[in-house]
Amino acid sequence: MSISLNEEVTPIEPDAALILDHLPGLVWTTDETGTISYCNSRFGEYAGIDFGLSHPSHWARVLHPDDAVFAVQYGQNARRTKRRRVINARLRRKDGEFRWFELAGSPLADDGRICWLATERRESANDRTQEDIEGGFRRFLNSLSLSALLISPGLELEFANQAALRWYGFLPESSAQEASADREPRKLDEILLPLKAYMEGEQTPVFSYQAQHADGTLRWLEAQVVPVIEKSGELTNYCVLQNDVQDSRDAAYLLGKEMEMLDMVARGTPSASVLQKLCNVVEDLIPDLFCCFLELSLDRKFFRMGAAPRLPSEFREIFDQKSVASDKNACSFAALTKKAVEIQNLLESDYRHTSMGQFMLANRLNYCHAIPILSPYGNTAGIFAILRHQYTELKPRERQIVDRAAHIAGISIDRTRHEEALVKRETQFKRSQAQLVAAQRISSTGSFTSDVQRDENIWSEEFYRIFDLDPEVEPSIDAVRERIHPEDLELFDVEMQRGLAGEGSDFVFRIIRTDASVRFIRGLAKVTHYIGDHPVFMGTVQDITETKRAEDAIRRSEEALLKAREELAYVSRAMTISALTTSIAHEVSQPLSGILANANACVRLLALDPPDIASAADTARRTIRDTMRATEVVKRLRAMFKRQSPTMEDIDLNEIAREVIALSARDMRERSIVLESRLASGLPSVRGDRIQLQQVILNLVLNGIEAMAEIEGWPRRLLVLTSREEDMLTLSIVDAGVGIAADSAERLFEPFFTTKRNGMGIGLSVSRSIIENHGGHMWATPNDGPGTTVAFSIPRSPPLAQSV
Ligand code: ADP
C-alpha cells in the first residue's frame, strides 16, 4: 500500500501518515476543486485506487451518483460556511459494490481543503433497515419524472433525483457516473430562498419560482414541499417536488395574447396594429428574432408594409408599395410561389444580391425565413418573415409560436382585405347608383320592383317624379292607380291582372298629374324571380309624352303628304288620260258609229218585204257587240278616273301591262310606232293596287311615245319587257326616242321637271313614289343605241310582299 501525494499538496509527516493508515476509517483530503489531495491506505484499498500512479482524481468518482451532488455541493460550500458536516453516502468498493458510510467532512483551512473521515455504517439489523429505507426512498424518487430534491433543515442539499439532475444539467445522459468539475450545485440555491420562507411560515408549501435550466434559460418551476419525518418523529429532510411549468405558462401566455389579438381583429382594429402586436409577442417569446409582416394589395401585385418594429426603417422602403415581382428576394419568391423560403446562410445564397439581401447583410442578419400567409381561400394575403443574425433551429415550442402568429396574421389581413374590397365595391356601387339616377333622369325612365300579389314595391327616384308623387309616399299600386287617366284605368287593371298571373306586360297609358297635365306613360314589366310562388316584377315606366307628340305630328304630316300625293296622282292620272283623249274618243266613237250604222241597217232590213230577219238579227248582234265594246272602254276610263283609296290585291303584272297596251295601241298605230311586248311567262303575282300600277305603266308608255314623236331616221319602236330576278319582278319600257343625258337620269324623277311645252313634270315623280310605296324602286338609263329605258322593280306577292 502506498501513499502518494499530489505535487501541489503539502506532504504529511510519515508518522502522521502511519497513524492515519491505522485508523478504522477511510481518510482523505480534497482541495477546493474536489480533487483528492491525500488519502490513507484504507481508502486506496477500499476504492482500489493507486493514487501514486493515476492522475489526480475527483473524489466524487467514488461516490454513488445519487449521493454525489449534495456531497460535492458541501465541498464547494465548506470554504464559505467552514462548517463540519456529516453525510450518509455510498462509496464504491473496488469490486464495484456500493456500501453505506457516514462521511464527516471538516474544512481544513481557508483554502477550501476538506478532510474526510468515512466510517462504515454498522451492520446492525436496525441500521440495515434504515439504509434500505433511505435507499428505497431515493430509488423511488429517481423513478419519478418530477424533479425531486432532499434538503436538510440546515438548508443543505442531501439528494437530487435523476430528473432534477437532468433538469439542472448535472447529469449528462451519456456519463451519469462521471463526476465533473462542471457541476454547479450552487444553481440549486434558487430553491433555498423560498424554502427558507416556507420554513419560517411565510410561504405556502406550494409555490412557483424561477431557476436556471440546463440550457441556461430561466424557467418557471412549480414546487411543493413535503417534510420527511422519521418514525421517531424527527424531521430529517424537506422533499421538494418540482414541475417545469414554463411550457404551459408560455402556452397560457400565448393563448391570452391570441385571444387579445383575435379580439382586436373582431373589433376591426387595423391590421397594422394587430401585426405590430404580433411581432412584439413573437419577439418576446423567441430570443434573438426580428419579425416582419408584409401585406399584399388586393390585386396581389404590390407589397404593403404590415409591421417590422425591430427592423430599421430602410426595410419599409424595400417593400412598401413595391411590385411583388420587382426584387426577386425571399419574400417576393414566397409571395409568388406560395411556398416558404428559408435561407440559412445568406452569404452563401444568391439572395444576397437582392435589395432585401443587401439590407440584411448591412444589418448582419444572415438568416431569413419567409412564410406565405394564406387566406382561407388559399390565396397569398401576405408574408411573415423572421430574420436572425445566424441560423438557429426553432424549437418545437417556438415553431408553434411562429405558426400561431402566421395564423392570426392571416385572419387579420384577410379581414382587412375584405373590408377594403367592400369599401371598393361600395364606392363602385354608389357611383353606378348615381349614374343610374342620372340616366333615369335624362331618359325620363323610372324603375320599379314589385311583388304585385303582396303589393310590395320599390320605386326609383325618377318613378316618383314621373308619377308626380311625394317621395314620402309609401309605394303601392293604389298610389299609382290614383294618377291613372279614368279612361285608361280599365286597361291598367287588366295589365295588373296579367301581372298577378305572372305575365309580363308592355303598354301605354295616360296619367293626370297634380297640375292637371296629361302625360303618356309606357310601362314595361317582366317577371325576374319568384318569392315562394309570388312572381316579382322588375320594370320601367317611361314618360313618352314628348315622343308621342312628335310622333303624332309626324303622323299628321305624313297623312297630309299622302293626301297631297293622292291629289297629285289624281291630277297626273287625269292628265295622262287626257293625253289619250283622241284615242279614247276614237275608241268610243267607233263602236258608237258602228252601233248607229248597224241599228239603221237593222231597221232597213226589217222594213223589207219580206223583212230579212236573219240579216237583221246579224246586225242587231253586231250592235250589241259594239255597245259592249264602248261600255268596256267607258268602264275602264271610269275606273282610271275614279278617285279611290288604294286597295291591295294580288296582280298579274303581265295582265295589267297588256291592258295598258290595249288602251294606247291605237295611239301608237297612228304615230307609226311599232310595239313589241316580251312578257316573261310564269311570273308570280305582285301585291299592289291595280289602278296605281296601271297608271305608272301608262305614264311610261306615253312618255316613250312622246319621246319618239319627232324622231326621223330610225324606226320608232317601243318595247315592253317583263322579267324576274329572284323575288323581284321588273317591267321595262324601252323606247327609241330622243334619249336622256347620262347625268340627268335622276332629274327626270324630280317633281315638276319637264322639257315639254304642256308638260307638268309630275308623272315620273308620282310614278316613283307609287313604286316605292309598293316596296320597289324605279330608274331610267340611256340606251346603248338611241332612246331611253325607264323601268321599275317590285317584289312578288308574300311571303316577301310589303304592304303599302
Ligand atoms: P312630263 O311628261 O309632264 O314632262 P314626266 O314627269 O312624266 O312629266 O317627265 C318629266 C321629264 O322627263 C319629261 O319632260 C322629259 O323631259 C323627260 N322624260 C320622261 N320620259 C322620257 C323618255 N322616255 N325619253 C326622254 N325623256 C323623257
What's the pLDDT score for residue 128? 54
* Separation between Cα atoms, residue 340 and residue 778, nearest integer Å: 81
Alpha-carbon torsion, ordered 711, 765, 692, 563, to 10 deg: -150
CA 608–ligand 1 middle distance (angstroms): 58
C-alpha cell at 648: 291591295
CA 749–ligand 1 middle distance (angstroms): 9
Q: Where are the domains of the chain?
A: 1-122, 140-244, 249-421, 444-543, 646-799
Pocket test for ligand 1, best of 732, 748, 779 (most atoms within 8 A of CB): 748
Quickly tell me which residue has 319602236 as its cell: 717
Closest CA to 561 of 766, 760, 699, 753: 766
Which residue has its alpha carbon closest to ligand 1 atom 8?
Answer: 761
CA 703–ligand 1 middle distance (angstroms): 6
Which residue has its alpha carbon closest to ligand 1 atom 19?
Answer: 703
CA 690–ligand 1 middle distance (angstroms): 23
Which residue has its alpha carbon closest to ligand 1 atom 20?
Answer: 703
Closest CA to 453 of 360, 578, 537: 537
Strand ranges across the sheet with 290-296: 303-307, 290-296, 380-388, 367-374, 341-343
Which residue has its alpha carbon closest to ligand 1 atom 21?
Answer: 703
Pocket test for ligand 1, best of 573, 698, 703 (most atoms within 8 A of CB): 703
* Separation between Cα atoms, residue 149 and residue 170, nearest integer Å: 13
Closest CA to 765 of 743, 781, 748, 780: 748
CA 582–ligand 1 middle distance (angstroms): 21
Q: 3-class SS at 355?
A: helix
Closest CA to 376 of 339, 341, 405, 415: 415
> Which residues, listed in sequence order, are joined to residue 296 by a DSSP beta bridge?
303
Q: Quick one: what percent of the chain has pLDDT higher than 70?
A: 88
Give the atom of ligand 1 at the shortest distance from the alpha carbon of 765. Answer: 6
Strand ranges across the sheet with 717-725: 674-679, 717-725, 728-734, 788-795, 777-782
CATH of domain 646-799: 3.30.565.10
Which residues does ligand 1 sit against, CB inside 6 Å? 699, 703-704, 707, 735, 737-738, 740, 748, 753-756, 759-765, 788, 790
DSSP 120-136: EPP--HHHHHHHHHHHH
The phi and psi torsions of 341 (rounded to 5 degrees) equal -120, 125
Pocket test for ligand 1, best of 750, 755, 779 (most atoms within 8 A of CB): 755
* Separation between Cα atoms, residue 30 and residue 20, nearest integer Å: 16
What's the pLDDT score for residue 551? 87
Which residue has its alpha carbon closest to ligand 1 atom 7?
Answer: 763
CA 780–ligand 1 middle distance (angstroms): 10
Per the document, the length of the chain is: 804
Strands 98-107 and 85-92: antiparallel
User: What is the 3 state secondary structure string of 509-537?
Assistant: EEEECCCCCEEEEEEEEEEEEEECCEEEE
Closest CA to 762 of 568, 547, 541, 560: 568
Strand ranges across the sheet with 534-543: 456-459, 445-451, 534-543, 518-531, 505-512
CA 563–ligand 1 middle distance (angstroms): 24
CA 752–ligand 1 middle distance (angstroms): 10
Contacts of 211 (CB under 8 A, 6+ apart): 168, 187, 190, 191, 218, 219, 221
* Separation between Cα atoms, residue 386 and residue 798, nearest integer Å: 84
* Separation between Cα atoms, residue 281 and residue 288, nearest integer Å: 13
Peptide linkage before 799 cis (omega within 30 of 0): yes
From 3.30.450.40, 3.30.70.1350, 3.30.390.30, 3.40.718.10, which CATH number describes the 249-421 domain? Answer: 3.30.450.40
What is the end-to-end Cα distance of the chain in Å, rounded? 148
Give the atom of ligand 1 at the shortest distance from the alpha carbon of 735. Answer: 23
CA 781–ligand 1 middle distance (angstroms): 13
Which residue has its alpha carbon closest to ligand 1 atom 1?
Answer: 761
CA 759–ligand 1 middle distance (angstroms): 8
DSSP 555-618: HHHHHHHHHHHHHHHHHHHHHHHHHTHHHHHHHHHHHHHHHHHHHHHHHHHHHSSS--HHHHHH
Which residue has its alpha carbon closest to ligand 1 atom 23?
Answer: 704
* Separation between Cα atoms, residue 255 and residue 281, nearest integer Å: 11
Give the atom of ligand 1 at the shortest distance from the alpha carbon of 756. Answer: 14
* Separation between Cα atoms, residue 650 and residue 581, nearest integer Å: 30
CA 710–ligand 1 middle distance (angstroms): 14
Instruction: Burial-class residue 462 by CB neighbours within 10 Å (0-12, 13-18, 19+).
Output: buried
In this prediction, the residues of the chain whose per-residue pLDDT falls under 70 are 1-14, 50-56, 69-73, 76, 79, 122-133, 171-187, 561, 565, 568, 577-584, 587, 636-637, 639-645, 799-804
Which residue has its alpha carbon closest to ligand 1 atom 25?
Answer: 739
**What is the chain's Cα-based Rg?**
63
Give the atom of ligand 1 at the shortest distance from the alpha carbon of 704. Answer: 23
Which residue has its alpha carbon closest to ligand 1 atom 13?
Answer: 754
* Separation between Cα atoms, residue 149 and residue 138, nearest integer Å: 10
Give the atom of ligand 1 at the shortest distance from the alpha carbon of 737. Answer: 24
> Which residues, listed in sequence order, are joined to residue 219 by a DSSP beta bridge?
211
Quickly tell me which residue has 322579267 as its cell: 723
Which residue has its alpha carbon closest to ligand 1 atom 17?
Answer: 748
What's the pLDDT score for residue 585? 72
Which residue has its alpha carbon closest to ligand 1 atom 9?
Answer: 761
Closest CA to 371 of 357, 386, 361: 386
Which residue has its alpha carbon closest to ligand 1 atom 12?
Answer: 748
Pocket test for ligand 1, best of 568, 746, 764, 771 (most atoms within 8 A of CB): 764
CATH superfamily placement of domain 444-543: PAS domain (3.30.450.20)
C-alpha cell at 754: 319637264
CA 580–ligand 1 middle distance (angstroms): 16
Task: Report the b/e string of 646-684 with b at 16+ CB within 10 A.
Answer: beeeebebbebbeebbebbebbbeeeebebeeebeeebe
Q: Do domains 140-244 and 249-421 have the same CATH topology?
A: yes
Which residue has its alpha carbon closest to ligand 1 atom 11?
Answer: 754
CATH superfamily placement of domain 1-122: PAS domain (3.30.450.20)
Give the atom of ligand 1 at the shortest distance from the alpha carbon of 787. Answer: 24
Pocket test for ligand 1, best of 754, 788, 792 (most atoms within 8 A of CB): 754
Output the pTM of the full model.
Answer: 0.45
* Separation between Cα atoms, residue 104 and residue 71, nearest integer Å: 11
The phi and psi torsions of 452 (rounded to 5 degrees) equal -60, -40
Q: Are 41 and 3 in contact (CB under 8 A)?
A: yes
**Nearest-5° Cα angle at 284, 282 to 290:** 60
672: left (phi over 0), alpha (psi -120 to 50) or beta: left
CA 699–ligand 1 middle distance (angstroms): 9
CA 633–ligand 1 middle distance (angstroms): 27
- The CATH-assigned architecture of domain 140-244 is 2-Layer Sandwich (3.30)
Give the atom of ligand 1 at the shortest distance from the alpha carbon of 749. Answer: 6
Instruction: Burial-class residue 687 by CB neighbours within 10 Å (0-12, 13-18, 19+).
Output: buried
User: What is the 3 state secondary structure string of 434-501?
Assistant: HHHHHHHHHCCEEEEEEECCCCEEEECHHHHHHCCCCCCCCCCHHHHHCCECHHHHHHHHHHHHHHHC
Which residue has its alpha carbon closest to ligand 1 atom 16?
Answer: 755
C-alpha cell at 238: 424537506
Q: Are 429 and 405 in contact (CB under 8 A)?
A: no
CA 786–ligand 1 middle distance (angstroms): 16
Closest CA to 406 of 338, 356, 320: 338
How do residues 206-234 score in pLDDT, each as one tens digit?
Answer: 999 988 888 878 889 999 998 888 777 88
Closest CA to 657 of 680, 630, 629, 633: 680
Question: Packing angle between helix 581-607 and helix 613-641, nearest 10 degrees?
Answer: 160
How do residues 113-172 score in pLDDT, each as one tens digit?
Answer: 888 888 887 655 555 566 666 777 888 888 888 899 888 888 877 788 888 888 887 754
